[in-house]
């Protein structure tokens, strides 16, 4: 069984389109519009195994979300979907092991980011 993917995206249309693509790939989906809701979902849904998150979120910066999520779930796979260049985060330890998915992306690019 595939893990549930938590989409953390504040732009509703982007979140809906991403959820649709993830559904096409056969993954169950959970959604959150900001960092605090994402952390709540991680606390309450043990099936979440992947977090696909934007970095520019209301209520909590993406970096802080990643740190807190990994504290809660050390084995959580984190995929950052961002329109900013990958180099933006440099050698920041919070981003070690994070997969990067540049926006905009299509289903094939999404699959590669999720499945490595």
Position 86 scores a pLDDT of: 59
Residue 27 to residue 37: CA distance in whole angstroms: 20
- pTM of the entire predicted model: 0.92
Position 90 scores a pLDDT of: 56
Domain that holds residue 92: 4-115
Structure-token match 């330890």, residue found: 93
Position 80 scores a pLDDT of: 94
* Termini Cα distance of the chain: 17
Tally of structural domains, the chain: 1
Residues of the chain with pLDDT under 50: none
Q: Which CATH number goes with the domain that contains 39?
A: 3.40.50.2300
Residue 40 to residue 87: CA distance in whole angstroms: 29
């Amino acid at each position: 069984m595939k893990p549930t993917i938590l989409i953390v995206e504040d732009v509703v249309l982007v979140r809906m389109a991403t959820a649709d693509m993830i559904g096409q790939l056969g993954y169950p989906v959970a959604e959150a519009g900001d960092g605090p809701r994402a952390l709540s979902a991680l606390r309450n849904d043990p099936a979440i195994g992947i977090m696909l998150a934007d970095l520019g979120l209301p209520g909590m910066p993406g970096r802080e979300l990643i740190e807190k999520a990994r504290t809660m779930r050390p084995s959580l796979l984190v995929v950052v979907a961002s329109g900013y260049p990958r180099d933006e985060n440099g050698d920041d330890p919070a981003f070690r092991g994070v997969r990067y998915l540049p926006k905009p992306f299509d289903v094939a690019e999404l699959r590669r980011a999720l499945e490595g």
